[in-house]
Amino acid sequence: MTVLDLLGYFILLIIVLWILSASVKVVREYERGVVFRLGRFIGAKGPGLFFIVPVADRFIKIDLRIVAFDIPKQRVVTKDNVSVDVDAAVYYRVFDPSKAVLQVENYLQATNLLAQTTLRDVLGQVELDDLLTKREELSKKIGEILDTYTDPWGVKVTAVAIKDVSIDETMLRAIAKQAEAERERRARIIVAEGEYLAAEKIAAAAERYTTPGALRLRELQTLTEIAREKNMVVVTSTTVAEDIGKIASMVKALQERK
């Protein structure tokens, strides 16, 4: 065997190894390989080991795990003409790698741009109070709209989270004044309701005192309470005074028996 033969075998071995390395592909459990042969789509391969034809085939690796990205801070004008800066995050995953390659050039960039536009459109249709108090509902609505648009791309939007809403200092002071006015209004309503209930009770009590006996009992009770103040002089009618004298005599007699 000559040197040329050895050189030929060596070159052939290198070619075979190159063909094997170029034709054998491995993708992980959470990945898929979208394969094109001479420019034509032939399917998605994986997970695990699969073979392609060198030179003729080309494959694109797609990750199927959930991906999260931040939506850049967006300036939004609400329905009541208030400018706010909104930060949000979008969570999505590729459920059909073939569509993610065939239907859109760059599904990540397309989803990001679509999320920015949808965020501004949805939040621009609500008032500031709803934006501050109904974040969860608005996030769900944005996610549903995004998922509708990205479904043909093989992308599933799993969640959208509005992280922060920034408001100018001037607007913050206005909101604080509004909250203070609201608390004062509620306090006045509570006081008015209390006075109304008290008036009802007083009216009901007045109806109870329509009988002479009840009225006389209340009069005696009032005089008793007044009498506790030793430095006070109470002027009553003769009848009331006689009744009080009788009551005092009875109490004194009972005390002497003890």
User: 6-19 burial, b for 16+ CB within 10 Å, e for fewer?
Assistant: eeeeeeeeeeeeee
Give the separation between CA 44 and CA 3, rounded to whole angstroms. 45
- The average pLDDT across 134-150 equals 93
pLDDT tens figures, 32-72: 999 999 989 999 998 988 888 888 889 899 999 999 999 88
DSSP annotation string for 199-246: HHHHHHHHHHTTSHHHHHHHHHHHHHHHHTSTT------HHHHHHHHH
pLDDT at 146 over 90: yes
Give the separation between CA 236 and CA 240, rounded to whole angstroms. 6
pLDDT at 237 over 70: no
67-167, CATH topology level: Tetrahydropterin Synthase; Chain A (3.30.479)
Helix (H) or strand (E) holding 85: strand 83-94
Q: Residue 208 is encoded by which pair of tokens?
A: 């109870």
> CB 50: neighbour CB atoms within 10 A?
16
pLDDT for 118 equals: 93
Any idea where the domains of the chain sit in the sequence? 3-62, 67-167, 169-208, 213-258
pLDDT at 176 over 80: no
Asked if 83 contacts 75 with a C-beta cutoff of 8 angstroms, the reply is yes
**pTM of the prediction?**
0.63
